[in-house]
Structure 1
């Protein structure tokens, strides 16, 4: 069923900004000779339309169809249509009932738009399109000239943030700063992971953060600090245990995460050594990042600093990644690592995270930065030290 939609004023950005984003996506489609683009990722639906619902995880299928002319068309479950009508700038919605076939509705709609000898882009590297979805689409779109990978068509446009996007990220950073700076003052001497999570989530929400979503917060006590993205559980700290902590405030689905290490009393010598190395590396990156560098060159700055600090053997992860909109994750497109040739430009935003571990202890001092004309500006502001729980 098709429904016309009146534009509402419950959007985090101006209609002009959404129009500019759509135009940029269409320009990228033209450069890649793409006639029709299918969009499924909730982050990209947010970017183009203002979509901000967790309903994407309760759907068999939804997508946005973008062509070079005309209004983009949303295809979604009927239950989700109210969210689109009242929280996005979309003008055309097609919805299906729970007994309908959403992929048939999609392919029928594409045929009406004209698919003969067209290039259709579908994101291949996404969890929102399954092999089943692809097989159905490929079977029905037999008249297209080619189906190509559309994974990066929108993500490339998202890398450079507008002034308003940076403002939201800075507001999220303020929440992160305040909550992280004060967390140890609200914990008993030997806290559990759940107790730490309670303080973090309560204080973020009290400051006005939206639903944190995804992996937020990440907490690992003792050897669990080295697990990599541990879920917070009932584990309780013992004296001198390090505690890995990463979280972010959320403003209009924009994030500003940070990593710090807590310690239950006096930290161990290894924890101090790793913390000093991580701190040295993150500050070297901030001091030596400029527009015009490649992401790979930024990673080289970090690795050189880690070597100078004598801790390079404890580094097993990338230097960082771009950050922006988030639902299940706040990661936003590219990694700062060896082989990544993306050129840094003004108003790109990154999380720099020289995480160090011997796989029994995990320590990190991370920071959020925005690339500006004359270098990188740090937008998180938390003591760069192990935060001791007295």
Structure 2
């Protein structure tokens, strides 16, 4: 199905996902989950909109119908995109006023998940919002007032006031950290999901080729960004979770900065990193372009960078530890006289993403040194290899790869040689 206003995946796909999450809940002894991450809400219900800037929460019980709490104005969107959930809409505003029906605040309970304190702490009074009130009511109506509930405390999208209000409003529940229970299921993409990641990868290739073609001496960064967005949408993509990164020599070191109103000069480095997006599934790609001429050390640096990437890719297969993938990458640098040069990771897991990230909220799950994460078939990664300020030249390559039964498959395909414009 590719109806823009409704669900993309069929009902069986959502039931499979929920069942896998529920199996994890059973193993943890949870009666329900309270989920705030827009990526995980989309994954489990199909809700795909931009209204997550306001509180939205999914109650997933161990058995029975999921409950979705959003602003009331999202009624039509939920009806079309998540038709099998019970929708609870809340009105804007805060009710009731303090002193009218204010909840009892227990000063020994906090976001430390019930760790007792030596002395009562002074805190601002948290007026119960409509979102809190309706969530508390929904939990009570679902028979979860005394249940064991996993709450999405690590989500960027669960404000302190909302979490505190809900936990105080359901004081007899046993609140537990949800941690990565849903993410651990979502990290494995089904064949239907991988189809979307491949579609996103084709869009990424077009975006990158358009950016490279637009670059040159005297070209303003904004013209390159315009070419990227034009290719993104003309190829059938949608807005990505993270703005494409277009940086040149003047702001090259700004890790998550992007284009400025400046023209490329002879001898500049142009850093390009972006991700096509299809139905919220992302496929990042990155390249470095030399403006005007190719420095004498460019080929050597690019060869090292590419060899390191391929060594990491050759290590990727089901059962391998993520830390071993990083060590394969680092070993190429060590053999090339760059043992002093290391990175915090050589890639990270990607998939569903909403702004402000194409990898989900929080620090990405990376191919990091000493990581004990074991790779599994269906995982997808943004595999990265770069040398900036290494002493042997500059190079940057990154691609989207899939863990297959037989190893690693590259999904993005723009050439990995030295690029000059």
Could you tell me which residue of structure 1 aligns to residue 419 of structure 2?
A: 387
Question: In structure 2, what is the equivalent of residue 5 of structure 1?
Answer: none
Are 2:333 and 1:339 aligned?
no
Partner of 2:383: 352
1:32-47 equivalences under 5 Å are 32-47=28-43
Residue number in structure 1 paired with 2:227: 199
Q: CA contact under 8 A between 1:227 and 1:359: conserved in structure 2?
A: no
Show structure 1 runs of 5+ residues with no match.
Answer: 1-7
What secondary structure is seen at the aligned counterpart in 2 of 1:262?
strand
- Are the equivalent residues in 2 in contact too, given 1:274–1:363 (CA < 8 A)? yes
Task: Determine the C-alpha separation between the residues in 2 that align with 1:49 and 1:323.
Answer: 19
Q: What's the counterpart of residue 63 of structure 2?
A: 69
Asked if 1:291 corresponds to 2:322, the answer is no
Corresponding residue of 2:401: 369
Q: Is the 8 A contact 2:324 2:370 kept in 1?
A: no
Give the C-alpha shift of residue 226 in structure 1. 2.3
CA contact (8 A) 1:292 1:343 kept: yes
Pick which of 99-108 and 158-167 moved more. Answer: 99-108
Q: What secondary structure sits across from 1:248 in the alignment?
A: strand
- Aligned partner (choices 133, 137, 142) of residue 104 of structure 1: 133
Q: Distance in 1 between matches of 2:167 and 2:387?
A: 44
Q: Choose which of 49, 53, 62 in structure 2 pairs with 1:53.
A: 49
Distance 2:134 2:39 in 1: 23
Task: Spell out, residue by residue over 1:13-47, the C-alpha distance to the aligned partner (whole angstroms, 9 max, x if none).
Answer: 11100110011111111111111101111111110
Distance apart, 1:62 and its partner CA: 1.3
The residue aligned with 1:4 is none
Cα distance in 2 for residues equivalent to 1:370 and 1:27? 25
Name the counterpart of 2:257: 230
CA distance in 1 between partners of 2:207 and 2:79 (Å): 35
Residue pairs, 1:277-288, within 5 angstroms: 277-288=304-315
C-alpha displacement of 1:279:
1.2
Instruction: Provide closer, same or farther for how the CA distance between residues 99 and 265 of structure 1 changes in structure 2, counting only shifts above 3 A.
Output: same
2:102 equivalent in structure 1: none
Unaligned runs of 5+ in 2: 95-129
**Which residue, 236, 256, 261 being the options, matches 2:283?**
256
Is structure 2 residue 200 aligned with structure 1 residue 179? Answer: no
Single out whichever of 338-347 and 27-36 deviates more from structure 2.
Answer: 338-347
3-state SS of 1:94 partner: strand
For residues 298 and 331 of structure 1, what CA distance do their matches in structure 2 show? 19
Q: Could you tell me which residue of structure 2 aligns to residue 118 of structure 1?
A: 147
Partners of 1:310 and 1:192 lie apart in 2 by 36
Instruction: Give the C-alpha shift of residue 12 in structure 1.
Output: 1.3
Larger Rg: 2
Distance 2:57 2:32 in 1: 12
Asked if the contact 1:175/1:249 (under 8 Å) is kept, the reply is yes
**CA distance 1:125–1:356, change in 2 (3 Å):** farther
Instruction: Give the match's secondary structure for 1:121.
Output: strand
User: 1:138 is matched with which residue?
Assistant: 167
The separation in 2 between residues aligned to 1:268 and 1:64, in whole angstroms, is 54
Partner of residue 271, structure 2 = 244
TM-score normalised by structure 2 residue count: 0.85
Q: Is the 1:176–1:257 Cα contact (8 Å) retained in structure 2?
A: yes
RMSD: 2.1
Q: Which of the pair is proportionally richer in helix?
A: 1
Deviation at 1:65, TM superposition (A): 0.3
Contact 2:288–2:395 (Cα < 8 Å) also in 1? yes
Q: 2:79 aligns with which of 77, 85, 89?
A: 85
Deviations along 1:248-291, one digit per CA (max 9) or x if unpaired, are 11111111111100121113345544433221111111122111
Q: Distance in 2 between matches of 1:224 and 1:284?
A: 30
Distance 1:188 1:223 in 2: 16
How many residue pairs align between the two structures? 378
CA distance, structure 2, for counterparts of residue 190 and residue 314 of structure 1: 33
Going from structure 1 to structure 2, the CA distance change for 1:359 and 1:223 (only over 3 Å counts) comes to farther
Matched, 1:221 2:252: no
Shift of 1:153: 1.3
Deviation at 1:322, TM superposition (A): 0.8
SS where residue 364 of structure 1 aligns?
strand
Q: Does the C-alpha gap of structure 1 residues 122 and 357 become closer, same or farther in structure 2, counting only changes over 3 Å?
A: same
**Aligned-partner Cα distance in 2 for 1:349–1:218:** 21
